[in-house]
Structure 1
Amino acid sequence: MAPPKKGKGRSGGEGPPILAILLFGFVALSGGALGYYYLSAERPLELDRTSLCPVDGPRAVTAVLVDATDDLPDASKRQVTAIVTDAAASLAPHEMLDIRVIDASGSRSVFTRCNPGDGAGLSEWTANPTLARRRWEEGFRKPTEQAIAASMASARAKTSPIMKGIQDTALERFTSSQSNMASRRLIIISDMLENDPDYSHYSGDLSFQRYRRSAAFRKYSTDLNDAEVTIRVVQRLSRKPADDLALIQFWRDWISDNKGRFQEATRLQGAG
């Protein structure tokens, strides 16, 4: 009887090699980690190409209303430049700056743009901070400087419809019901002497009661939607001096009556 044949042992090529298993595991773990990082990384908001604001609306609004119905004194112009520049610099990414002028017809915007962010804090791996910085420089900072100069160009007029200018601003910027609107701010740069056919601070007393009896009370009623209002008062030499305390009290009452929050009123330097 022939001796039994020995069984063949397993060759090294049969079965999954240990090296392949380890390599597969490493690739799977690496891919999972990268996928998690990608999915958890904050996505850049989609921005409107013209305004640079998020397509679902700005996160906050700062409106600067410059009364151009009379010339600004030179010293006041320099101070206004600093005020508006500071307002622009204080904006967080995706907050809007609206620079407006008051003329005979009310107010109009000369610059409306959101701060797109200057790239600070962006990752070199998941974003492009260099591109973001260039977009901020060319699309926001430089146009802001140009708009500040344009807002102080005189549009001399016989009337000074400050209330109409504020109403225009509120209708365009403060009536949004967006839940993502964190805050609304209004900075008014004017002598604050309303001069309109329906009501004028140049005739009669400065009491809010007299205003309530005028046609302007209903005509210019608006909703500031809890906006914070700051006044920078332009000083005039060519007009009859007004009772500053009574004038500011009038505007405190007017702002409160129109659902705004008065913050402060301070005089600008210079007079003209």
Structure 2
Amino acid sequence: MARRSSRSRSRRRGGETGKHVVGIGIIAVCLVAAVVVGIAMTRIEPRPTLDKTSLCPTDGPRSATVILLDASDVLPDVTRRELMTYLFDAATAVSEHGLLEIRLLDPNSPSGMSVFSKCNPGDGSGLDEFTGNPRLAKKRWDEGFRKPLEAALNGSMAQPSESQSSPILSTIQSISVDRFTGSRAASMPKTLIVVSDLIEHGPGYSQYSGDLSFDRYRKSEHYKRVRTDLNGAEVSFRYIQRVTRRPINSATHIQFWTDWVKDSNGQLVSARKLQGAG
């Protein structure tokens, strides 16, 4: 009887020891998991506080994209449709928390007419279900960014107006001062997209007369007044082809703007003609 009792106590002690080992193992796994999760959480960049109106971070946007749209003349239907697709794609490609601004060329406003200025708040596609709220983010993107953007693009080309001047260069100068200048802007991506026939025309300098060389422009008083520092911004042109009384050589014209970007401390990304002419 004593031997059996001793063996029973031994089995009980062995079973209890096994339970302790399993328990310690579970606790160890939990501790490791907690440490891993804690490290992961510390590496997740906290989401910035957004301004309710502009949807930009309260400490400023992370990038700046400005679209200058010359809608002074009626566009052919094919040009308009191609342009709308391009602009919407370019606008929605703006990085999360980056500023998108759309300005219309307006001879009565040196800086152009701003018709849209908001940051992309993010559509929630990169948010985790547990640490974020992707549905709420998608709703905010739709209601606060996408829909106002579509309305601004449609409205921009709905009512073209005749103008006796085309101050493209001075408007870009104002855009650069407003959006591409300063210590914060120096370290963030900057993009300028110009949609226009690109025919600069005003009392000090006009591309409707004289040659289109950059050298002629550089010798003018107009050059001194509107010379611009783009501070390294990337520049894209979408060239609207116009039927004018005096035909303009588009290749020479685009070369002028290529030289202008270089002289203005910018980086030319692309210069492409839109389909159609009007």
TM range (shorter): 0.7 to 0.9
1:208 is the counterpart of 2:214: yes
Change (3 A) 1:48 1:181: farther
C-alpha contact 2:179 2:185 (8 A) present in aligned 1? no
SS state of the match for residue 255, structure 2? Answer: helix
Does the alignment pair 1:67 with 2:70? yes
| Pairing partner for 2:56 from 33, 37, 53 | 53
Match of 1:169 in 2: 175
Q: Does 1:196 align with 2:202?
A: yes
Please state if 1:235 is matched with 2:241: yes
Contact 1:71 1:156 (C-alpha < 8 Å) held by counterparts: no
Q: CA–CA distance in 1 between the matches of 2:260 and 2:75?
A: 24
Deviations 1:172-214 (A, max 9, x none): 1111321784311111111111111110001211111211221
1:263 paired to 2:266: no
Structure-to-structure mapping, 1:88-167, within 5 angstroms: 88-105=91-108, 106=110, 107-152=112-157, 153-167=159-173
Displacement of 1:37 after TM fit?
Answer: 5.8
CA distance in 2, matches of 1:67, 1:179: 25
The answer as to whether partners of 2:56 and 2:98 remain within 8 angstroms in 1 is yes
**RMSD between aligned alpha carbons?**
2.5
DSSP 3-state at the match of 2:184: coil
Partner of 2:10: none
Which of the two has greater helix per residue? 2
Change (3 A) 1:45 1:92: same
Distance 1:243 1:44, change over 3 A: same
Within 2, Cα distance between the matches of 1:38 and 1:211? Answer: 56
CA distance in 2, matches of 1:211, 1:217: 6
Output the TM-score relative to the length of structure 2.
0.82
Which amino acid in structure 2 is aligned with residue 191 of structure 1? D
In structure 2, runs of 5+ residues without a counterpart are: 1-19
CA contact (8 A) 1:68 1:156 kept: no
Q: Hey, what does 1:221 align to over in structure 2?
A: 227
What percentage of aligned pairs have identical amino acids? 46
Structure 1: runs of 5+ lacking an equivalent: 1-18
CA distance in 2, matches of 1:230, 1:59: 20
1:233 Cα offset (Å) = 0.9
Equivalent residue of 1:262, what SS? strand
Matched, 1:184 2:226: no
Instruction: Kindly tell me the number of residue pairs found equivalent between the two proteins.
Output: 252
**Which of 73, 76, 82 is the equivalent residue of 1:79?**
82
Deviations 1:64-117 (A, max 9, x none): 111122222222111111111111221221112111110113412110111111
Alpha-carbon displacement from aligned partner over 1:108-152 (angstroms, at most 9, x marks no partner) = 211011111111121222211111111111011111101111222
Q: Which sits farther off after the overlay, 41-50 or 226-235?
A: 41-50
Higher mean C-alpha deviation, range 52-61 or range 37-46: 37-46
Q: Which residue of the partner structure matches residue 5 of structure 2?
A: none
- Structure 2 contact 194–236 (Cα < 8 Å) conserved: yes
Of 137-146 and 256-265, more deviation after overlay is shown by 256-265
| 8 Å contact kept, 1:58–1:181 | no
Instruction: Determine the C-alpha separation between the residues in 1 that align with 2:151 and 2:189.
Output: 25
1:118, 1:136 within 8 Å by CA — same for their partners in 2? yes
Scaled by the length of structure 1, the TM-score of the pair is 0.84
Please say if residues 162 and 192 of structure 1, whose CA atoms lie closer than 8 Å, have aligned partners that are also in contact: yes
- What residue identity is the alignment partner of 1:240? R
The whole-number CA distance in structure 2 between the counterparts of 1:239 and 1:230 is: 27
Aligned residues of 1:161 and 1:195 also touching (Cα < 8 A): yes
Amino acid at match of 2:228: T
